Amino acid sequence: MNIVHADPRGVDSGAHFMDGDHAIAEGALAAGCRFFAGYPITPSTETAERFAERAPEVGAMFIQMEDEIASIAALIGAAWGGQKAMTVTSGPGFSLMMENIGLAAMTETPIVLANVQRGGPSTGLPTLTAQQDMFQARFGSHGDYNIIALCPDSPQECFDLTVEAFNLAETYRTPVFIMTDETVGHMHEKVVIPPADHIKVVERNLFTGPKEDFRPYRFDSQGGHPMARAGAGYRFHITGLTHDERGYPVMTAAQNQVVVTHLIEKINGNAECIIRLEEDQVEGAEVLVISYGITSRIAVRAIAEARKKDIKVGALRLITVWPFCERRIRELAGQVRAMVVAEINYGQMVREVERCAAGRCRVISVNHCGGAVHDPAVITQAIEEACR
Amino acid sequence: MNVMTADVPSEDRFAAMLRTERMPHIWCPGCGIGSVVTCFIDAVRRSGVDQDKLAVVSGIGCSGRVAGYVNFDSIHATHGRAIPVATGLKLANPELTVVVISGDGDLISIGGNHFVHAARRNMDLVVICINNFTYGMTGGQVTPTTPGSATASTTPYGNYEYPLTLPFLADACGASYVARWTSLHARNITQSVEEALTRRGFSFIEVITPCTTLYLRRNRLGDGVDALQYYQNNSEILHGIDTRETAIELQGKIAVGKFVDREKPTYLDAVTRCNAKVIGDDYQLYGKTEPEKKSAEAKKTEDQVTAGPVSGGHS
């Protein structure tokens, strides 16, 4: 893995007053992304607009494609053409992208996709917030595969985690999702973009050996196997079909076992390196509040209210949502009386918490069907109920 | 135009551009896809395009398998998505010559929207549509090009839809080069592909091919030789004809030839021109013009700005 400083051309260093959507575009440029293909959709469009505005001055390619299907397809072509590539969308577009998310996962193509979530299902609430695509992010395309998903809770983190998303995509050769939401996407806050030499960027791992030795894949459950850039003379072949290490189709159950196991384990097996959590007063807590994205900022108020009532409340924020922090939840399930999971959906990540808690503590879902953030009092109430 | 000579390439010349370790291929006896592949690689050889600077993208279906058999950088994409994948590949690496080879169902039905917009943008792609009037891989279903009244497994009593005329579609969408041949016209296909490889913009070549196993058999049209006989007796070379006159009826006349060849700026030309207007003449896509090239004075002013408490200037 080759880690370098960011190319200063893409880094708009300084303190900005910026929304989350714009910060995603700046994070991408800082991370070395020079290819953006997208299709307008509320509430994500500002990222595309920002990238379009900045593209000429950094020599980047911006293309507005005919739809979201084409957008993510173009990313796969661009990645194998040698560029770091990203797109941005929201629920309906995310649904359209599922087919080629599968192709990116299967061909182990590093791409970054930001989903600025809005209320659903279907056209739902185009301008209003939600966190309803969390399971779709993990399981939305057909077949078994794996991905990484990050969840920023502020415009600053939109910048920081977009840089990290590109680094993870290159490290594990996988699609990485930034699962933000309308509230964070449209929230203006201070965003500090560091100088280029303070930003670490993982460069594409390109094969440099003799042509006859090149293999586009190695099914070692690790990831990060070197790629080739089209035009470099390696004459790679990639396919969505089940394939061998040369990329050639192999239509057998045995080979699918090899490929699928690799796709899943290269991420699960490195989960401890990938997962980032933020914990607050977890030691000795009776109740643990688990949340992510904008909801974790609502939970801060709820937790403060509960603490005023002398309830020992800890907070766990999922910065990395997928892979899920199974080990930590198992540990904590033996230490707390209850886990309160607040999220703007009908109960998605709470299923993962329940699975890992496995009956060793109560798990309470504080769900919300989208269109607004929680009333903090509802979360406080759930914390109080958890103590009874 | 070049006069085609009789020096049919030797097997060795073919072999260098094929993944011979993947042979035998999956195509049926009498199928026209192999003929198109042969013409394509012969055209690459004649064109002088560097084998390492050419990439092939296919979609799904019998023709979608082409990408796996040719010895270039190649992507076997999802169904219908060969054109947008190729678009990304070309724009990410403009030095590449990017060729899409796929079928009528893939490019025109499920991928129809992408076809329309790539042609509209005059995207620098060579798109070869192998049109056999049917979905071969899935068992002979009707496609948007199946001629009226032909039967297919999903139109067992005859096709009742209006078919698309592909040269007319490509022309209307803005393709800058449009040609059509049948798989009988090996030298003409080679010549058209060679022309397309050495020009810029969206080049579309339709090749009518027989699907012996499904389309011909179901419609009692004989075997591969009968299809070639039909092509020979019914094809008419009509260069420059109005593309509205190129519809194909069941076992009817087939207008072949080069219908459109017009110069206009490609997508990359247009992007470069527009951005150079904004940035200046030293604009270069993926180039390293900033900040090294900034004048000392500009740099000094910038230092003064960034020394202040806030703002990188884009908020």
**Where do we find the tokens 């109960």?**
A347
* CB-based contact A157:A187 (threshold 8 Å): no
> Which chain B residues touch A98 with a CB distance below 8 Å?
none
Give the one of A9, A66, A83 whose C-beta lies nearest to B114's C-beta. Answer: A66
C-alpha distances out from residue A68 to A44, A126, A149, A216, A355, Å = 12, 16, 19, 27, 33
Whole-number Å distance between alpha carbons of A105 and A149: 13
* CB-based contact B153:B111 (threshold 8 Å): no
Q: Smallest CA–CA separation between A272 and chain B, in Å?
A: 33
* CB-based contact A230:B55 (threshold 8 Å): yes
For the segment B109-129, the average pLDDT, to the nearest whole number, is: 98
> Which chain A residues touch B271 with a CB distance below 8 Å?
61
Among candidate residues B207, B214, B243, B247, the one with its CA nearest the CA of residue B228? B207
**Where do we find the tokens 């009789």?**
B6
Q: Is there a shared CATH topology between the A3-202 domain and the A278-387 domain?
A: yes
C-alpha distances out from residue B167 to A153, A311, B176, Å = 51, 74, 11
Averaged confidence pLDDT in chain A: 98
Return phi, psi of residue B287, to 5°: -80, 170
SS3 letters across chain A? CCEEECCHHHCCCEEEEEEHHHHHHHHHHHCCEEEEEECCCCCCHHHHHHHHHHHHHHCCEEEECCCHHHHHHHHHHHHHCCCEEEEEECHHHHHHHHHHHHHHHHCCCCEEEEEEEEECCCCCEEEEECCCCHHHHHHCCCCCCCCEEECCCCHHHHHHHHHHHHHHHHHHCCEEEEEEEHHHHHCEEEEEECCHHHCEEECCCECCCCHHHCCCCCCCCCCCCCECCCCCCCCCEEECCCECCCCCECCCHHHHHHHHHHHHHHHHCCHHHHCCEEEECCCCCCEEEEECCHHHHHHHHHHHHHHHCCCCEEEEEECEEECCCHHHHHHHHCCCCEEEEEECCCCCHHHHHHHHHCCCCEEEEEECCCCCCCCHHHHHHHHHHHHC
* CB-based contact A96:A68 (threshold 8 Å): yes
Give the one of B71, B275, B289 whose C-beta lies nearest to A235's C-beta. Answer: B71
Question: Would you call A35 an interface residue with chain B, using a CB distance cutoff of 8 Å?
Answer: yes
pLDDT of residue B281: 86
Whole-number Å distance between alpha carbons of A136 and A83: 26
> Which chain B residues touch A250 with a CB distance below 8 Å?
none
Return phi, psi of residue B257, to 5°: 130, -170
Give the one of B93, B274, B310 whose C-beta lies nearest to A231's C-beta. Answer: B93
* Token pair in block for residue B76: 């076997």
> Which chain A residues touch B283 with a CB distance below 8 Å?
56, 59
Whole-number Å distance between alpha carbons of B286 and A34: 7
Instruction: Inform me whether the pLDDT recorded for B148 exceeds 70.
Output: yes
Query: How many residues does this entry show for chain B?
Result: 315
pLDDT of residue B300: 44
Whole-number Å distance between alpha carbons of A237 and A80: 10
Q: A 196-235 residues with CB below 8 A of B?
A: 228-235
Question: Would you call A254 an interface residue with chain B, using a CB distance cutoff of 8 Å?
Answer: no
Whole-number Å distance between alpha carbons of A130 and A361: 27
Among candidate residues A217, A232, A205, the one with its CA nearest the CA of residue A106? A217
- 10 Å Cβ neighbour count for B70? 25
The three-point CA angle B269-A21-B302 to 5° equals 70
Whole-number Å distance between alpha carbons of A288 and A364: 10
> Which chain B residues touch A14 with a CB distance below 8 Å?
306, 310-313
* CB-based contact A191:A159 (threshold 8 Å): yes
pLDDT tens-place string over residues B123-140: 999 999 999 999 999 999
> Which chain A residues touch B74 with a CB distance below 8 Å?
235-238
pLDDT tens-place string over residues B27-65: 999 999 999 999 999 999 999 999 999 999 999 999 999
> Which chain B residues touch A54 with a CB distance below 8 Å?
314
* Residue ranges covered by each domain of chain A: 3-202, 278-387
pLDDT of residue B7: 52
Q: Which residues contact B102 (CB under 8 A, 6 or more apart)?
A: B58, B59, B61, B63, B64, B66, B82, B111, B128, B129, B130
pLDDT of residue B303: 45
* DSSP β-bridge partners for residue B260: B178
For the segment B195-209, the average pLDDT, to the nearest whole number, is: 98
pLDDT of residue B1: 41
> Which chain B residues touch A58 with a CB distance below 8 Å?
290
Among candidate residues A375, A370, A190, the one with its CA nearest the CA of residue A299? A375
Q: Which residues contact B206 (CB under 8 A, 6 or more apart)?
A: B129, B131, B166, B167, B170, B179, B180, B181
Instruction: Inform me whether the pLDDT recorded for B113 exceeds 80.
Output: yes
pLDDT of residue B299: 44
**Contact yes or no for A239 and B67 at CB 8 A:** yes
Question: Would you call A331 an interface residue with chain B, using a CB distance cutoff of 8 Å?
Answer: no
* CB-based contact B72:B17 (threshold 8 Å): yes
**Superfamily of domain covering A3-202:** Thiamin diphosphate (ThDP)-binding fold, Pyr/PP domains (3.40.50.970)
Give the one of A26, A60, A230 whose C-beta lies nearest to B89's C-beta. Answer: A230
Give the one of A54, A59, A240 whose C-beta lies nearest to B285's C-beta. Answer: A59
Chain B nearest-CA residue for A102: B78
Kindly state the helix (H) or strand (E) to which residue B205 belongs, with its residue range: strand B203-208
Question: Would you call A99 an interface residue with chain B, using a CB distance cutoff of 8 Å?
Answer: yes
* Token pair in block for residue A226: 């070197």
pLDDT tens-place string over residues A34-83: 999 999 999 999 999 999 999 999 999 999 999 999 999 999 999 999 99
> Which chain B residues touch A22 with a CB distance below 8 Å?
315
pLDDT tens-place string over residues A233-257: 999 999 999 999 999 999 999 999 9
Whole-number Å distance between alpha carbons of B63 and B71: 16
Among candidate residues B271, B265, B268, B262, the one with its CA nearest the CA of residue B171? B262
**Contact yes or no for A35 and B53 at CB 8 A:** no
* Token pair in block for residue B24: 């035998």
CATH topology of domain A278-387: Rossmann fold (3.40.50)
pLDDT of residue B14: 82
Q: How confident is the model at residue B315 (pLDDT cuts 50, 70, 90)?
A: very low
Chain A nearest-CA residue for B272: A56
Whole-number Å distance between alpha carbons of A217 and A261: 13
Q: How confident is the model at residue A388 (pLDDT cuts 50, 70, 90)?
A: confident
Chain B nearest-CA residue for A250: B22
CB pairs A-B closer than 8 Å: 189
Chain A nearest-CA residue for B271: A61
* CB-based contact A321:A134 (threshold 8 Å): yes
- 10 Å Cβ neighbour count for A388? 6
What's the N-to-C CA distance of chain B in angstroms? 55
Give the one of A66, A70, A80 whose C-beta lies nearest to B89's C-beta. Answer: A80
Give the one of B86, B96, B113 whose C-beta lies nearest to A67's C-beta. Answer: B113
> Which chain A residues touch B306 with a CB distance below 8 Å?
13-14
Give the one of A59, A66, A73 whose C-beta lies nearest to B85's C-beta. Answer: A73
**Contact yes or no for A103 and B78 at CB 8 A:** yes
Q: Which of A80, A97, A250 to mutate to test the interface with B (most CBs of B within 10 A)?
A: A80
**Contact yes or no for A81 and B289 at CB 8 A:** no
- What does R_g of chain A's alpha carbons equal in angstroms? 21
Whole-number Å distance between alpha carbons of A226 and A216: 7
**Contact yes or no for B312 and A236 at CB 8 A:** no
pLDDT tens-place string over residues B174-197: 999 999 999 999 999 999 999 999
Question: Would you call A242 an interface residue with chain B, using a CB distance cutoff of 8 Å?
Answer: no
Question: Would you call A241 an interface residue with chain B, using a CB distance cutoff of 8 Å?
Answer: yes
Give the up-direction half-sphere exposure of residue B141: CA atoms within 13 A in the CB hemisphere. 11
Q: Which residues contact A158 (CB under 8 A, 6 or more apart)?
A: A20, A21, A23, A24, A27, A152, A178, A180, A184, A185, A191
Question: Would you call A253 an interface residue with chain B, using a CB distance cutoff of 8 Å?
Answer: no
Torsion of CA B257, B259, B261, B264, to 10 degrees: -150
Question: Would you call A103 an interface residue with chain B, using a CB distance cutoff of 8 Å?
Answer: yes
List the domains of chain B with CATH numbers. 11-264 (3.40.50.970), 269-307 (no CATH)
> Which chain A residues touch B73 with a CB distance below 8 Å?
80, 228, 230-231, 234-237
Give the one of A74, A82, A234 whose C-beta lies nearest to B84's C-beta. Answer: A74
Question: Would you call A361 an interface residue with chain B, using a CB distance cutoff of 8 Å?
Answer: no
